[in-house]
Amino acid sequence: MPPTSRIPLLDLARSLALLGMAAFHFSYDLLMFGLIDYSYAQSSTFYFHARIVAGTFLLLSGIGLWLAHGEAIRWLAFWRRFTKIAGAALLVSLATRIAMPEVFIYFGILHAIALYSLLGLIALRLPAVVNAALAAIFIYGSYHWHIEALNAPLLRFIGLSLDHAMTIDFEPIFPWFAAVLAGIALGQIGSQTGLWAALAGKPSGKWVRILSWPGQHSLLIYLVHQPILLGLVWAYAQLG
């Protein structure tokens, strides 16, 4: 399947993930301004909401990496996308460093997608079963391989330190690279079975185009949605 062929179902999945992300950030903003009880931050709903959204984005990024570069790495397109994501990740770090220095984002979802895109290039050449097995290993390791030597701040992104990361968004290599590897494996299986070719351009129609638009511009929406939500919640809090 040509890398330019869009699969609307994947765009719709990204749109749904963006909706989930916006809902999570909205609840976080409400917590920050004391508009809902802080006990919600300790709930399983809050915990799993964040992880399902992050895992979905990373899984979809793995599928997208395979669809775009599985047959041959298109280096110009790859570096163009990598530069945009890495640049946006830097902006997020700078902005949160200024606004929330004690819990600023130093390895959030954008940092993860940028790094895992690079690491994923190696996985593109591995069989699907190997990538699936590696995904399981990264998940296993995140529970059993923590060591004190990785407590150093510059090594926290690995995800195997003994200390808790003080940041509001954190998707370290262990276990989160597993989601990208799983996405690559699914991408490979989809190509081998002809699934992606069958889904190219389907479904179609006006509402599919409208609903899939956010998924086609996920980076832009990621960057602008939180300042808008935060501003609205702040304005509401001032009225109260």
Contacts for 195 with CB less than 8 Å, ≥ 6 apart: 189
Domain containing 235 equals: 8-239
What pLDDT is recorded for position 3?
A: 44
Q: Is residue 3 part of a domain?
A: no
Contact indicator for 43, 239 with CB cutoff of 8 Å: no
Tell me the sheet residues that pair with 107. 170
Looking at the domain assignment, is residue 39 inside a domain? yes
142 located within any domain: yes
Residue 133 has a pLDDT of: 98
Separation between Cα atoms, residue 88 and residue 133, nearest integer Å:
31
Asked whether residue 2 is domain-assigned, the answer is no
Closest CA to 8 of 223, 196, 218, 221: 196
What's the pTM value of the predicted model, to 2 decimals? 0.96
Residue 149 forms part of a structural domain: yes
In a domain, 96, yes or no: yes
DSSP letter string over 157-197?
GGS--SSPP-SS-B--HHHHHHHHHHHHHHHHHHHHHTHHH
Domain tally, the chain = 1
For residue 204, tell me if it sits in a domain: yes
Give the pLDDT confidence score for residue 86 in this predicted structure: 98
* Tens digit of pLDDT at every position of the chain (240 positions): 444 478 999 999 999 999 999 999 999 999 999 999 999 999 999 999 999 999 999 999 999 999 999 999 999 999 999 999 999 999 999 999 999 999 999 999 999 999 999 999 999 999 999 999 999 999 999 999 999 999 999 999 999 999 999 999 999 999 999 999 999 999 999 999 999 999 999 999 999 999 999 999 999 999 999 999 999 999 999 986
One-letter amino acid of 201 = G
The answer to whether residues 17 and 71 touch, using CB atoms and an 8 Å cutoff, is no
